[in-house]
Chain A
């Protein structure tokens, strides 16, 4: 949509064109670099990514095709003060998400109190009845969370989405930093950027702290990363994290239940796993409990889970917390469980299941973004301002047929940050996904995250599956 540069908040430049303090040192360095050299470094970065195989597969594409997510060399910079506020808000929100899940699968106080209508749960596939009455090891539901943030002004960060199932992209956070440090080492001696490289160690520690009752001490708990396999779009990340954590990378057919434990087939026999960091969806975890056609999961794993033989991270059934229908209730949810006002705001959201809201949305389709409640990855959505009359009319049909399947949000004036183009710096819209680890020891937020940036002028869609790119995300030290 047509968010003209100048009308929205730019991360690097003030409205009068002067450089904001966060970017002062970087911009000074940038202006002193030879642009031809920068262009060569840019090409070098792409070769680097291809060689080490940081690629992703696009569903529906030729299976053999592995694409690169474009990397932009201009960092996205966050000041220490901004980050302090963000971490407070994220921590509050993640705490509320876990309390909410614990409540939903037990007494459902929030429904009894009337703060959340029972309709939000009814017929919601993300709610797993198999989880009712069960508390995961350590009381942790969301071991890894990615909170998608957008910015509309100097102090206006808003949560666009909570990713509480299996958020991906953390390998890009790490590799983007590696690439930047390899290409421009002198930047990191001039500017105090907080490191992100110990994320895999923290993840391993956090997962080990959630060992199941069957783990009897002695050696460290055995952690394995469960991947759907090499054809999954995020396979690179699964292998990368397993490697960096020193964990086994397993597929469903490596696993079977032996004597009440989930075990992996090694060259010398079956060996028990304590914690499974799974990167497959709930549906594919256990053909006995969920999708009977799944080739990706392990028959009987869910019974082992419920009897304390293994920890599954994230817990099955966490998807209910990042469901877009639930999202609209997040301000109430945060307040209900923390007793505080939310530090981070939601994007205003109309629930099309409600007659008044539906009426408003139908009247204003051309100005709104309408999303499927259960969709993800930027698929199945309408962006009113950039859509043709026909596209809007077609979408209206779908919306009228099943209103409860949709929510609507205003088109935000998202912040921009310059990207490096052949013609020089050019502002593009972006968001930020910080990664949050939860264990009984507390909540741990890595300073930075994944910045996704639209590469097309004016575009608001940053998803990699829709042609978005990424940037290194810097949090400055105090």
Chain B
């Protein structure tokens, strides 16, 4: 058993375009990367950076111009290896005419599962993604979020060792996002390898052992979220409610929305500020850290090469 679940070597994808396909657009340039067994790997980058391209290359939906990749030590052209992997496409869309249960049952048939086991699993999965009440409705009536859940269910239905999710959080409401997060963490707990792409950084920060940042078709950095950027807290934000007037000095620094106020203070002044606000009769709603996030890291990179980023706008959509 190799230590790396996914090994990517010099993976390159160029799209010919224009008259007679004479021009080329590079959407992925010499990608070298490993995802270790058992880790949750976040693949982050802005839209059109090459995340989906990479994942589609891994799934052999498109074919690389150069380079190769291996999953679980096997070349990606090995069909049998696909028993061990699960894949959620970006903005998944499934057969309209099937119900969720039928669709999962259909996909399960490709996995050499016994009939009884198949049925059982389908039920379990539907429950896991919160669709157990809707499983008798044809997928044409599903919302985007529900489809996302079905997609997730089919990706993990056969208990794969490696799960690759393309934008698993997109289209979901906050509750749904949390459920997906829970599922990913559960997979990790079960020793699975998870690679997912996202352009939402907080998700990556929260879940990933490591992240890879890709911009303009090139990998700009790989590492634990904390090592990629200075994660030091840059202050605290207090959200509070205040009815009636008060002359607390801090109030002048707060931004007001109706009866709610938002106040930014330094970390060391937090407790003093809370004391003062309580004294003024405010009700504290939340306190949160303000961090320099991957977002800024990201924005720097994008800003540095916006020209290129727009040049590699791929047909991901």
Verify that A and B bind, or say they do not: no
Q: Mark B residues whose CB is within 8 Å of A.
A: none
